[in-house]
């Protein structure tokens, strides 16, 4: 079955870059996603990447995918206090369904 | 475009009581999902509807949980009777089939069972 792992916590200083990592097990995943969850709110889709891509950039966000190692990362450039949230990695598990990791809590220190 | 609506936002009940949650998806979205998110974990799919039919309910504890989407639009999720371990945030999401499988999430209902 699918297993998506993330480190639980990350702290960075405002203005620095943040890198959130994720490993997954299902090599047949076609899409991989990053979601953001702010306190008391639902999940917000940040970005996604096709499995046949190595990198995707969207403004301050850069997603890197290493299919060989089944490793996905999200880099946030110039991290701001408003980026403090929990970030979930998710893989497409077929049948229009997503399988989520446990989330990484990003804390941005002013 | 209005997002996914859920109510209530918060609910506190005692164990063995019943509770129901309501979800109204984004207009035109055929697929609707209910997730359970226990504190400190990622969301876990409970049930998926395509229009008014169930696509996947393999993770739904059917002895106490039920869900329906009778007219293929809004949906209710019920727990009867509730247990302490049901304390979680219940998230509803919807998607428009064919749009790269994106799911749009509602704000969730935080359930506390005492």
DSSP string, A31-85: EEEEEEE-TT--EEEEEEEETT-SEEEETTEEEEEETTTTEEEEEESS--GGG-E
By Cβ distance, the residue of A43, A45, A95 closest to B55 is A95
Q: For residue A6, how many C-alpha atoms fall within 13 Å in the half-sphere facing its CB?
A: 29
Q: For residue B85, how many other CB atoms are within 10 A of its CB?
A: 10
Look at residues A75, A72, A36 and name the one whose alpha carbon lies nearest to residue A57.
A75
Q: Does A98 touch chain B (CB under 8 A)?
A: yes
Q: How far apart (Å, rounded) are the C-alpha atoms in residues A20 and A12?
A: 11
What is the pLDDT, as a whole number, of residue B99? 53
What is the pLDDT, as a whole number, of residue A17? 97
Surface-to-core class of residue B34, CB atoms within 10 Å of its CB (0-12 exposed, 13-18 middle, 19+ buried): buried
Distance of residue A24 Cα from the nearest chain B Cα, in angstroms:
14
Give per-residue pLDDT as tens, A7-36.
Answer: 999 999 999 999 999 998 877 777 899 999
What is the pLDDT, as a whole number, of residue B100? 47
- Residues of A with CB below 8 A from B38's CB? none
Decide which of A39 and A94 is more confident: A39
Contacts of B8 (CB under 8 A, 6+ apart): B21, B109
Give per-residue pLDDT as tens, A57-108.
Answer: 999 999 999 989 999 999 999 999 999 999 999 988 676 667 899 999 999 9
Q: Which residues of chain B have pLDDT under 50?
A: 100
Decide which of A3 and A94 is more confident: A3
What is the pLDDT, as a whole number, of residue A106? 97
Q: How far apart (Å, rounded) are the C-alpha atoms in residues A92 and B68?
A: 24
Q: How far apart (Å, rounded) are the C-alpha atoms in residues A54 and A66?
A: 7
- Are B107 and A40 inside 8 Å of each other by CB? yes
What is the pLDDT, as a whole number, of residue B2? 78
């Amino acid at each position: 079955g699918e297993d998506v792992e993330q480190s639980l916590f990350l702290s960075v200083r405002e203005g620095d870059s943040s890198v959130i990592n994720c490993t997954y097990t299902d090599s047949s995943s076609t899409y991989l996603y990053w979601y953001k969850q702010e306190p008391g709110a639902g999940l917000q889709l940040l970005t996604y990447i096709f499995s046949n891509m190595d990198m995707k950039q969207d403004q301050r966000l850069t997603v890197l995918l290493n299919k060989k190692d089944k490793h996905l990362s999200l880099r946030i450039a110039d991290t701001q206090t408003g980026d403090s949230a929990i970030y979930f990695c998710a893989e497409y598990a077929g049948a229009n369904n997503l399988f989520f990791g446990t989330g990484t809590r990003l804390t941005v220190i002013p | 475009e209005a997002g996914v609506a859920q109510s209530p936002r918060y609910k506190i009940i005692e164990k063995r009581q019943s509770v129901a949650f309501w979800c109204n998806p984004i207009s035109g979205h055929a697929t609707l999902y209910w997730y359970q998110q226990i504190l400190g974990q990622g969301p876990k799919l409970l049930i998926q509807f395509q229009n008014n039919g169930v696509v996947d309910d393999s993770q739904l504890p059917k002895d106490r949980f039920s869900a329906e989407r009778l007219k293929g639009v809004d949906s209710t999720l019920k727990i009867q009777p509730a247990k302490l371990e049901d304390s979680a945030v219940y998230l509803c999401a919807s998607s428009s089939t064919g749009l790269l499988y994106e799911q749009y999430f509602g704000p969730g209902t935080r359930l506390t069972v005492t």
